[in-house]
Copies of this chain bind each other. A is one copy, B any other.
Amino acid sequence: MANRPNQGRSPVRAAPGWNAEEPDSSSLTQAALDAIREDILSGELTPNTRLRMQMLRERYDIGASPLREALSRLVSDNLVLSLQRRGFVVAPVSLSDFRDLTNLRKLLEKEALSQALARGDDRWEAAIVAAFHQLNRVQERFDPNDRNSVVAWEDMNREFHDALVSACKSAWLLRTRNTAYICSERYRRLCLSITSISRDVKAEHKQLLEAAMDRDVSTIHVLISEHLEATFRKVEESGKLDEVALEQD
């Protein structure tokens, strides 16, 4: 592998001396996949942006082949669209799509929680408590201007919700839930300034935790539905999805 400029924003390629431990970082396709997905989720690559090869090659410092493979995977994950002979586009967003997605998420989360509450053992409970605690800590010293702090919150929020359903044994359900989660995350990040985390998110999470401990399925169904709905409403109120305009690169 030759010496490249790599002045781009996403340091994809491995550093000179790197720990040969990562699961699959050795593959450029994987690196491209992670980098592009992250950029789409974070809004760095905005909806409807044409993903031109030349641009991508410069941006990620990766050849066209691994990039195309990564994009192909993202197509199946609904983050990218493939236009028949005209390359790839960042999947568009719309309020109605988010409405739709939120409904599906409700269905999947409820089912996953039902199973988790039925099967969860002490370790499961402990993992939730731990994630909850850590999430609160991160939230205390949260700084909306510090990129790292924001990322840390995103990660912990996700870990908490993952912990809740982690006792669910259905791989299919969890995979499907995860796909939906990712796309939903995109809407949240696109529309909600991270500042508005404050909400009552902490209170909501606490209620979820308690319902989980009590194995109160019907309550947790209501809570998770409201949790997701609250996010939807915030996105709706943000007004950032009001234009159906077809933005371009």
How far is it, in angstroms, between the C-alpha of A69 and the C-alpha of B75 when the chains are bound? 11
> Complex formed: what's the CA distance from A176 to B180 in Å?
9
The answer to whether A172 and B76 have CB atoms under 8 Å apart is no
Q: Which residues of B contact A101 (CB under 8 A)?
A: 172
Q: How many copies does the complex hold?
A: 2
Q: Contacts A75-B73, A172-B100 known; A84 to B180 CB distance under 8 Å?
A: no
Q: How far is the CA of A171 from the CA of B101 in the complex (A)?
A: 9
A29 to B84, CA, bound (A): 10
Q: Does A111 contact B (CB under 8 A)?
A: yes
A118 interface residue per 8 A CB criterion? no
| B73–A27 touching, CB < 8 Å | no
A111 and chain B: residue at smallest CB distance: B107
Q: How many interface residues does A have (CB within 8 Å)?
A: 33
Asked whether A27 lies within 8 Å of B72 as measured between CB atoms, the reply is: no
Assembled-state Cα–Cα distance A172/B104 (Å): 7
Q: Does A78 contact B (CB under 8 A)?
A: yes
Quick one: CB contact mask for A170-183 with B, threshold 8 Å, 1 for yes? 11110110011000
Quick check: A100 and B170 within 8 Å, CB to CB?
yes
Contact of A26 among B30, B65, B84, B179 (CB under 8 A): B84
Partner of A104, one of B69, B176, B179: B176
Considering only residues 150-206 of chain A, those with a C-beta below 8 Å from chain B are: 170-173, 175-176, 179-180
Residues of B within 8 A of A173 (CB): 100, 103-104, 107
Pick the contact of A23: B26, B77, B84, B111 (CB < 8 A): B84
Q: Would A26 and B100 be within 8 Å (CB), given that A72-B73, A76-B73 are in contact?
A: no
- Within the complex, what minimum Cβ distance (angstroms) separates A32 from chain B? 11
A97 interface contact, C-beta 8 A? yes
Q: Is A26 a contact partner of B85 (Cβ separation < 8 A)?
A: yes
* A24 sits at the interface (CB 8 A): yes
Give 6 pairs: A residue, B residue, CB < 8 Å, sorted on A: A73-B73, A76-B77, A78-B175, A103-B172, A104-B170, A104-B172
Given contacts A26-B85, A75-B76, 18 further A-B contacts (CB under 8 A): A23-B84, A26-B84, A27-B85, A65-B65, A68-B69, A69-B72, A72-B72, A73-B73, A73-B75, A76-B77, A100-B172, A103-B172, A103-B173, A104-B170, A104-B176, A107-B111, A172-B180, A176-B176
